[in-house]
């Protein structure tokens, strides 16, 4: 048997000097192809004696494997080099911006409504709704505000046009969300727990007033609900809403639809001109509330001798201003893109009790 060493060296040299994948393929065919040198040598094995075949066959197989491995290694090395060379030319400016994608926002009023709803839903309150054009009965009489009651004049009511010959009192744009109390009680009876958020209207426009704003009404009627439970409910609400323990102060007041009535203040401090809630010696008036007046219960079809409960109403826009530091109410309704982007919320930022309510 010939010494295979020169052959081995010759092929390994050729593999080494192959400069590209095509040259490698040529070498492979020349060595291991059907008519390749090593393939031909292996064909000769058939003519050898069994002993010779054993030793030569073993050596040839080893040589074939070695050359095959070398070919693959060389090919991989060449591929790698080719890729490196390609990558070297493939450079992009990664400091260019991504393709533009518009960023939408949720209005603070909507976000705060969702926050308030999440908190009260957790306390068992459903969301009730009612029309924004209301009869004067639902907006006033049912709520114990008689036609000539001075409170009625203080509401700065918008009246709807009445066609000549239609002698009904003019409908009004609801001046508060309280008429929803009556409708909810009529629909559901007692016991009942609802909140009613929505638009309300008053004829008032200056630095701190807009002719339309948002309120949220709360109503809870049961056998023995007391003002102490109103206080607890509101303190729970404010603490969850502002994300810090907030104390309330109840002050006697008067609303025709509640008795007793209370203005509710929340604890705050004004340090260096910044409002901080839940600390300090100051008090900030935030809502009106009280125990539902028997007249109002009767208007809602509920027997005031058997049922009692509380109601409250507060400004949603005002809550948003306090919580998120929004300075001007009028800007809420001006749709200035800069304002919408600055004070708006991410669409996916859906308030939940589980996820917390502070953004």
Partner 1 sequence: MKFTFSWLKEHLDTRATLGEITEALTDLGLEVEEVSDPAAKLNSFTLAKVLEATPHPDADRLRVCRVLTDEGEKQIVCGAPNAREGITVVLAKPGDYVPGIDTTLAIGRIRGVESHGMMASERELELSDEHTGIIELASGEVGQKFTDWLAANAPEKIDPMIYIKITPNRPDALGVHGIARDLAARGLGVLKPVRETRILPAFPCPIKVSIDADVSDKAPFFSGRVVRGLRNGPSPEWLQKRLRAIGLRPINALVDITNFYTYDLNRPLHVFDAAKIEGDLTLRAARPGEQVVALDDKTYSLPEGCVVICDRNGPESIAGVMGGAVSGASDETTDVFIEAAYFDPISTAATGRALKINSDARYRFERGIDPNFTLHGLDLATQMVIDLCGGEASEVVTAGAIPDSDRAYRLDPARTTSLVGLDIPAVTQRATLSALGFRLEGDMAHVPSWRPDVLGEADLVEEIARIASLTRLEGKPMPRPQPGVPRPVLTPLQMREKAARRQAAALGYNECVTYSFIDEAAATLFGGGGDALRVDNPISSEMTHLRPDLLPGLLAAASRNQARGFADLALFEIGPVFTGGEPGEQATQLSGLLVGASAPRDPFGSRRKVDIYDARADAEAVLAAIGAPARAQVNRKLDGWWHPGRAGNIALGPNVLATFGEIHPRVLRAVDVKGPAVGFTIHIASIPFPKARTASRPALELLELQSVERDFAFVVDAQVEAMTLVNAAQGADKALIQSVSVFDQFTGLDDGRKSIAITARLQPRGKTLTDAEIEAVSRKIIDKVEKATGGTLRA
150 lies in the site for partner 1, by CB under 8 A: yes
350 lies in the site for partner 1, by CB under 8 A: yes
**Alpha-carbon Rg for the chain in angstroms:** 42
The three-state DSSP-derived secondary structure of 312-328 is: EEEEHHHHHHHHHCCCC
The stretch near partner 1 (CB under 8 A) out of 16-24, 31-39, 48-56, 221-229 is 221-229
237 lies in the site for partner 1, by CB under 8 A: no
The stretch near partner 1 (CB under 8 A) out of 7-15, 57-65, 82-90, 198-206 is 198-206
Q: Which of 232, 231, 238 is closest to 216 using CA atoms?
A: 238
Instruction: For partner 1, give the closer residue by CB, 36 or 198.
Output: 198
Instruction: For partner 1, give the closer residue by CB, 21 or 356.
Output: 356
CA distance 169 to 160: 10
The residue behind tokens 């200056």 is: 206
Near partner 1 by CB under 8 A: residue from 4, 42, 78, 127? 127
Residue 137 exposed, middle or buried by CB count within 10 Å (0-12, 13-18, 19+): middle
Instruction: For partner 1, give the closer residue by CB, 46 or 98.
Output: 98
Instruction: For partner 1, give the closer residue by CB, 16 or 254.
Output: 254
Instruction: For partner 1, give the closer residue by CB, 14 or 176.
Output: 176
Give me 119's structure tokens. 């908190």
CA distance 144 to 239: 32
312 CB-near residues (< 8 Å, 6+ apart): 217, 218, 230, 234, 264, 287, 288, 289, 290
Beta carbon of residue 87, minimum distance to partner 1 (angstroms, whole number): 22
Q: What is the DSSP letter of 292?
A: E
| CA end-to-end span of the chain | 86
Give me 131's structure tokens. 């029309």
CA distance 359 to 357: 6
Give me 237's structure tokens. 């609400």
Beta carbon of residue 89, minimum distance to partner 1 (angstroms, whole number): 20
Q: Which of residues 276-295 bind partner 1 (CB under 8 A)?
A: 291, 293-295
Near partner 1 by CB under 8 A: residue from 135, 244, 269, 352? 135
Near partner 1 by CB under 8 A: residue from 11, 38, 134, 142? 134
Q: Which of residues 36-65 bind partner 1 (CB under 8 A)?
A: none
Helix (H, G, I), strand (E, B) or coil at 225: coil
Near partner 1 by CB under 8 A: residue from 8, 249, 276, 298? 249
188 lies in the site for partner 1, by CB under 8 A: no
Instruction: For partner 1, give the closer residue by CB, 36 or 344.
Output: 344
Near partner 1 by CB under 8 A: residue from 39, 188, 253, 352? 253
Q: Which of residues 71-100 bind partner 1 (CB under 8 A)?
A: 96-97, 99-100
186 lies in the site for partner 1, by CB under 8 A: no
Q: Which of residues 153-182 bind partner 1 (CB under 8 A)?
A: 153-154, 158-163, 170-171, 173
Near partner 1 by CB under 8 A: residue from 2, 51, 84, 148? 148
The residue behind tokens 């016991």 is: 191
Near partner 1 by CB under 8 A: residue from 42, 121, 275, 326? 121
- Whether 116 contacts 108, CB under 8 Å: no
- Whether 249 contacts 265, CB under 8 Å: yes
The stretch near partner 1 (CB under 8 A) out of 37-45, 65-73, 109-117, 267-275 is 109-117
- Whether 289 contacts 261, CB under 8 Å: yes
């Amino acid at each position: 048997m010939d010494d295979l060493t020169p052959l081995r060296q010759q092929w390994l040299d050729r593999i080494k000097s192959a400069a590209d994948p095509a040259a490698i393929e040529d070498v492979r065919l020349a060595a291991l192809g059907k008519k390749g040198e090593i393939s031909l040598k292996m064909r000769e094995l058939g003519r050898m004696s069994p002993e010779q075949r054993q030793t030569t066959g073993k050596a040839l197989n080893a040589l074939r494997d070695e050359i095959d491995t070398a070919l693959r290694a060389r090919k991989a090395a060449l591929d790698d080099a080719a890729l490196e060379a390609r990558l070297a030319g493939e450079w992009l400016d990664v400091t260019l911006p991504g393709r533009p994608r518009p960023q939408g926002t949720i209005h603070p009023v909507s976000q705060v409504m969702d926050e308030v709803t999440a908190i009260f839903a957790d306390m068992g309150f459903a969301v009730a709704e009612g029309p924004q054009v209301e009869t004067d009965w639902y907006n006033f009489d049912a709520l114990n505000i008689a036609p000539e009651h001075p409170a009625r004049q203080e509401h700065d009511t918008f009246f709807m046009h009445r066609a000549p010959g239609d002698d009904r009192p003019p409908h009004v744009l609801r001046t508060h969300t309280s008429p929803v109390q009556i409708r909810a009680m009529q629909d559901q009876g007692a016991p009942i727990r609802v909140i009613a958020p929505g638009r309300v209207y008053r004829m008032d426009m200056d630095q701190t007033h807009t002719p339309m704003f948002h309120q949220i009404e709360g109503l809870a009627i049961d056998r023995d609900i007391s003002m102490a439970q109103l206080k607890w409910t509101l303190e729970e609400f404010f603490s969850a809403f502002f994300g810090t323990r907030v104390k309330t102060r109840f002050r006697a007041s008067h609303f025709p639809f509640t008795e007793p009535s209370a203005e509710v203040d929340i604890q705050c401090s004004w340090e260096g001109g910044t409002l901080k809630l839940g600390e300090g010696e100051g008090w900030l008036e935030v809502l009106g509330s009280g125990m539902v007046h028997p007249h109002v219960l009767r208007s809602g079809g509920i027997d005031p001798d058997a049922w009692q409960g509380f109601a409250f109403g507060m400004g949603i826009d005002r809550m948003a201003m306090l919580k998120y530091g929004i300075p001007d109410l009028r800007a809420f309704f001006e749709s200035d893109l800069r304002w919408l982007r600055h004070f708006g919320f991410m669409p996916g930022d859906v308030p939940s009790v589980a996820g917390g309510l502070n953004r």
